[in-house]
C-alpha cells in the first residue's frame, strides 16, 4: 500500500494528546474514504491511552469508534470496558512514533509501526479483558496503521 | 459439413486412461437412482409434449415470499437477509441434505430429490460460530491482492544472512499455509445448505490461505529463492490435516495453529527488514486473526451445545494433550526458530540475542493460546502439556 498523499499540511499545530488531535485524524480518515474502502470494514472501539498525558502526569485516554470505513465518534474516556481494546504507551513513545510518521511523510520507520511497538507488550501495550476483542487490533491492523499515519498531514505539537 | 455427417464421423472416445472400475461404480450408482430421475424426466417431457405449463413455482404457499430484504448502510449482508422471517433460522440439526437452499419451498419435494451422502456435518454444534456471518462479511471486505497490493518494486536487497533467513521463514510459511487451506477444503463439502454461512466463511479462509502461500512463495523467490522443507513440522501439519472431527481440527488449526501463526506474522512484521515485508506480514496477520476468532467461537459453540458437556470437554482435552505438541514442534524446528532468531537479533552473529527474543515469544504465544481456550470455555491451564516458559530458557 502506498503511503497516503497529504496535500493540506496545516501550518498551525495541533496539540498531542488531545481530543482535537484525534478528531483531526477522524476527519482525515473520513475524507480518505477510498483508501479505507480498499482496506475494508473496520468495526471497533479503540482506546488510545497516553500514560502520562493527563494533568500532573496522570493517564489520558481517548476512545475512537470506527464503523465501516469511518471514524464516527471521538471522546475522552476512562471507561476502558467500553473499548474493544486499549493501546497504551508513554508520551515519549507516542511522540517518537508520530515524529517518525511525520518524517516519513505518512510511513513510519520499520521500528515505529503499531505492531512493532506492541508485539512484545512494550513500549506500547495493547490489552483487553476479552481475547476476542483484543484480536480486533490485529484484524484491523492496517486500517489502524493508516489512521495514525494520516497524522503526517498536519503538524503535531507536544507538551514541553 | 452437415451436423448429421459430422456426428457420424466422430470416433469413440479413447478408453485408455479411464478408470473402468470407477466408471462402472458411477454407472451402478446412477442406475440405483435412475427410476426417480427417469420418472421426473418423463413427467416433465409429457407435460411439454402436451403444450402445458406447470407454473407450480408461482405458488407461494409455504414460501416466505414478499418479505423483502432491506440493505444496511454497507450493502445487503447475510445479517440483513437473515433478518427477513423465514430465512434466518439456523436449525440445530440439518435434515434436508439436498442442494436446495434454506428458506426455499423444498420439504414437499423431499421424496423426489437425491440425498447428498457426503453432507455429514449435520449438527449445528459441529461447525457453527456466532461470529461467522460478521467474519464472512469482513473477510470479503478485507480481501487483498498479493500481486497488486504489495509494493514489490520497492523490495531491497538484504545482507545474505538476513535474506536467507527471510527466505527460509517464507519457505516455512508457504508450507504451513498449504495445509491451512487443505484442512477447511477437506470439510467444506461435508457442510449442508442449512449452514451456508459457515460454508461461505470457510471458502474465504481457503482464499486467504491461497493468498498467503502465494505471497510467501513470491517473497522467497523474489529475494533469492525457496530454501528448506521442515520435516519435523510436516508431522504437526499432518496431525492437523488428519484431525478426526471438524471441531477438533478447527481447534488445532484455527485456535491453536493460527493463533501461533498470528504470533509469527506479528513477529514477522516486527522483524521485517524492508517495508515490503512489513506490508506482507501486516496484511496476513489481519486475515489470520479472523481465522482465530472463528476457531475460538466454533469451539465455544461446540461445547455449549454438546449433549454431554463433561464428556465433550474430556474428549477435547485428550485431543489437545496431543495437539499442543504442534506448538512445541514449531518452536524447536530449526528451519523456523533459527531464521526467526537471526531476524530478531539482526544477523547471524546475533542469533543468541534472537533466541532470547524467541523465549519471550514462546511465553506470549502460550499465554495467548490459554486465554483463547478459556474464552471458549475450555480451561487448559491445569492440563497444558507444554511448558509455560520456553524449553530452552532465557540465556
Has residue B49 been placed in a domain? no
Q: Which of B74, B272, B296 sits opposite A68 (nearest CB)?
A: B74
Instruction: Test B270 with A145 for CB contact under 8 angstroms.
Output: no
- Residue range(s) defining the domain that contains residue A60: 11-151
B370 in reach of chain A (CB within 8 A): no
B205 in reach of chain A (CB within 8 A): no
Name the β-bridge partners of A45. Answer: A65
Residue of B nearest to A69 (CA): B74
pLDDT reported for residue B389 = 85
Residue B162, pLDDT > 70, answer: yes
Identify which has the larger pLDDT, B345 or B1: B345
Assembly ipTM: 0.89
pLDDT reported for residue B180 = 94
Has residue B181 been placed in a domain? yes
Band (pLDDT 50/70/90 cuts) for residue B393 is low
Has residue A123 been placed in a domain? yes
Cβ(A109)–Cβ(A100) below 8 Å: yes
- The predicted-structure confidence for A137-157, as pLDDT tens digits, reads as follows 999 999 999 999 999 999 999
A142 in reach of chain B (CB within 8 A): yes
Has residue A4 been placed in a domain? no
- The predicted-structure confidence for A16-74, as pLDDT tens digits, reads as follows 999 999 999 999 999 999 999 999 999 999 999 999 999 999 999 999 999 999 999 99
Instruction: Test B266 with A139 for CB contact under 8 angstroms.
Output: no
Q: Which of B142, B149, B269 sits opposite A41 (nearest CB)?
A: B142
Q: Which of A68, A131, A141 sits opposite B285 (nearest CB)?
A: A141
Has residue A61 been placed in a domain? yes
Has residue B70 been placed in a domain? no
Measured in degrees and rounded to the nearest 5, phi and psi for residue B20 equal -55, -45
How far off is chain A from B289, nearest CA to CA, in Å?
A: 5
- Please count the structural domains in chain B: 1
Has residue B30 been placed in a domain? no
Has residue A5 been placed in a domain? no
Residue of A nearest to B291 (CA): A139
Band (pLDDT 50/70/90 cuts) for residue B36 is confident
- Residue range(s) defining the domain that contains residue B150: 124-375
Which cell is B8 given? 457420424
- Please count the structural domains in chain A: 1
Distance between CA atoms of residues B237 and B184, nearest Å: 13
- The predicted-structure confidence for B252-264, as pLDDT tens digits, reads as follows 999 999 999 999 8
Distance between CA atoms of residues B110 and B100, nearest Å: 10
B300 in reach of chain A (CB within 8 A): no
Q: What is the CATH number of the domain that holds B293?
A: 1.10.620.20
Has residue A156 been placed in a domain? no
pLDDT reported for residue A138 = 96
CA angle (B362, B264, B133) in 5-degree steps:
115
Instruction: Test A110 with B292 for CB contact under 8 angstroms.
Output: no
Residue B29, pLDDT > 90, answer: no
Distance between CA atoms of residues B83 and B66, nearest Å: 14
- The predicted-structure confidence for A59-117, as pLDDT tens digits, reads as follows 999 999 999 999 999 999 878 899 999 999 999 999 999 999 999 999 999 999 999 99
A 25-84 residues with CB < 8 A to B: 39-41, 43, 68
Has residue B69 been placed in a domain? no
Residue B314, pLDDT > 50, answer: yes
Q: Per-residue pLDDT averaged across B144-158, rounded? A: 95
B262 in reach of chain A (CB within 8 A): yes
For residues A147, A151, A153, A158, the Cα torsion angle rounded to the nearest 10 degrees is: 170
Has residue A34 been placed in a domain? yes
Identify which has the larger pLDDT, B358 or B375: B375
How far off is chain A from B328, nearest CA to CA, in Å?
A: 20
Q: State which H helix or E strand residue A49 sits in.
A: strand A44-50
% of chain B with per-residue pLDDT over 90: 81
- How far from the centroid of its chain's Cα atoms is residue B205's Cα? 4
A90 in reach of chain B (CB within 8 A): no
Residue of A nearest to B294 (CA): A132
Has residue B106 been placed in a domain? no
Q: At what angle do helices B275-305 and B309-323 cross, to 10 degrees?
A: 150
Q: Which of B275, B286, B360 sits opposite A140 (nearest CB)?
A: B286
Cα–Cα nearest to A76, from A114, A52, A96, A50: A50
Has residue A1 been placed in a domain? no
Q: Please enumerate in sequence order all residues whose Cβ is within 8 A of that of B58, keeping only pairs 6 or more positions apart, or say none.
A: none
Q: What is the CATH number of the domain that holds A137?
A: 3.30.1050.10
B270 in reach of chain A (CB within 8 A): yes
Residue A7, pLDDT > 70, answer: no
Q: Which of B270, B273, B296 sits opposite A132 (nearest CB)?
A: B296
pLDDT reported for residue B228 = 98
Q: Which of B142, B279, B293 sits opposite A132 (nearest CB)?
A: B293
Has residue B80 been placed in a domain? no
For residues B236, B237, B239, B244, the Cα torsion angle rounded to the nearest 10 degrees is: 150
Band (pLDDT 50/70/90 cuts) for residue B5 is low
B142 in reach of chain A (CB within 8 A): yes
Residue of A nearest to B263 (CA): A119
Instruction: Test A141 with B375 for CB contact under 8 angstroms.
Output: no
Q: At what angle do helices B334-345 and B351-375 cross, to 10 degrees?
A: 110
Residue of B nearest to A111 (CA): B270
Q: Per-residue pLDDT averaged across B340-349, rounded? A: 95
Amino acid at each position: 500500500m502506498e503511503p497516503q498523499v497529504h496535500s493540506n499540511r496545516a501550518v498551525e499545530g495541533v496539540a498531542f494528546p488531545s481530543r482535537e488531535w484525534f478528531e483531526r485524524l477522524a476527519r482525515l480518515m473520513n475524507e480518505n474514504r477510498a483508501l479505507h474502502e480498499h482496506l475494508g470494514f473496520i468495526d471497533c472501539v479503540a482506546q488510545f491511552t497516553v500514560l502520562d498525558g493527563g494533568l500532573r502526569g496522570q493517564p489520558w485516554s481517548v476512545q475512537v469508534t470506527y464503523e465501516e470505513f469511518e471514524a464516527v465518534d471521538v471522546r475522552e474516556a476512562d471507561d476502558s470496558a467500553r473499548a474493544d481494546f486499549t493501546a497504551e504507551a508513554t508520551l515519549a513513545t507516542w511522540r517518537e512514533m508520530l515524529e517518525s510518521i511525520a518524517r516519513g511523510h505518512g510511513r513510519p520507520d520499520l521500528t515505529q509501526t503499531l505492531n512493532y511497538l506492541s508485539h512484545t507488550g512494550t513500549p506500547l501495550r495493547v490489552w483487553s479483558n476479552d481475547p476476542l476483542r483484543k484480536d480486533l487490533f490485529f484484524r484491523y491492523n492496517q486500517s489502524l496503521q493508516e489512521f495514525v499515519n494520516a497524522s503526517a498531514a498536519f503538524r503535531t505539537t507536544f507538551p514541553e | 459439413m452437415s451436423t448429421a455427417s459430422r456426428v457420424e464421423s466422430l470416433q469413440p472416445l479413447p478408453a485408455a486412461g479411464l478408470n473402468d472400475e470407477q466408471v462402472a461404480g458411477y454407472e451402478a450408482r446412477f442406475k440405483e437412482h435412475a427410476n426417480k430421475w427417469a420418472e421426473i424426466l418423463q413427467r416433465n417431457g409429457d407435460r411439454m409434449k402436451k403444450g402445458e405449463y406447470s407454473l407450480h413455482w408461482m405458488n407461494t404457499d409455504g414460501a416466505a415470499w414478499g418479505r423483502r430484504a432491506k440493505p444496511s448502510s454497507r450493502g445487503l449482508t447475510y445479517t440483513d437477509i437473515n433478518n427477513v422471517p423465514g430465512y434466518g433460522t439456523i436449525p440445530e440439526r440439518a435434515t434436508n441434505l439436498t442442494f436446495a437452499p434454506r428458506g426455499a419451498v423444498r420439504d414437499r419435494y423431499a421424496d423426489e430429490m437425491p440425498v447428498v451422502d457426503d453432507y455429514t456435518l449435520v449438527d449445528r454444534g459441529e461447525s457453527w460460530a456466532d461470529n461467522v456471518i460478521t467474519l464472512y462479511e469482513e473477510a470479503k471486505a478485507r480481501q487483498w491482492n498479493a500481486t497488486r497490493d504489495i509494493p514489490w518494486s520497492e523490495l531491497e536487497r538484504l545482507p545474505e544472512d538476513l535474506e536467507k533467513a527471510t527466505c527460509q521463514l517464507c519457505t516455512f510459511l508457504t508450507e504451513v499455509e498449504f495445509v491451512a487451506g487443505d484442512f477447511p477444503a477437506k470439510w467444506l463439502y461435508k457442510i449442508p445448505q442449512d449452514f451456508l454461512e459457515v460454508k461461505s466463511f470457510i471458502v474465504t479462509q481457503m482464499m486467504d490461505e491461497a493468498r498467503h502461500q502465494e505471497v510467501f512463495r513470491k517473497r522467497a523467490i523474489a529475494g533469492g529463492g525457496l530454501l528448506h522443507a521442515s520435516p519435523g513440522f510436516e508431522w504437526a501439519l499432518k496431525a492437523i490435516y488428519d484431525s478426526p472431527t471438524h471441531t477438533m481440527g478447527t481447534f488445532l488449526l484455527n485456535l491453536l495453529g493460527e493463533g501461533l501463526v498470528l504470533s509469527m506474522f506479528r513477529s514477522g512484521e516486527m522483524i521485517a527488514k524492508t517495508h515490503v515485508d512489513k506490508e506482507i506480514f501486516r496484511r496476513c496477520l489481519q486475515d489470520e486473526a479472523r481465522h482465530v476468532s472463528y476457531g475460538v467461537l466454533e469451539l465455544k459453540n461446540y461445547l455449549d451445545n454438546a449433549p454431554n458437556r463433561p464428556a465433550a470437554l474430556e474428549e477435547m482435552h485428550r485431543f489437545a494433550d496431543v495437539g499442543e505438541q504442534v506448538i512445541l514442534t514449531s518452536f524447536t524446528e530449526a528451519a523456523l526458530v533459527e531464521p526467526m532468531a537471526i531476524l530478531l537479533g539482526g544477523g547471524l552473529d546475533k542469533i543468541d540475542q534472537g533466541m532470547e527474543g524467541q523465549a519471550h515469544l514462546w511465553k506470549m504465544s502460550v499465554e495467548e493460546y490459554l486465554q483463547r481456550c478459556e474464552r471458549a470455555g475450555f480451561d487448559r491451564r491445569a492440563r497444558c502439556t507444554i511448558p509455560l516458559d520456553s524449553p530452552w530458557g532465557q540465556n
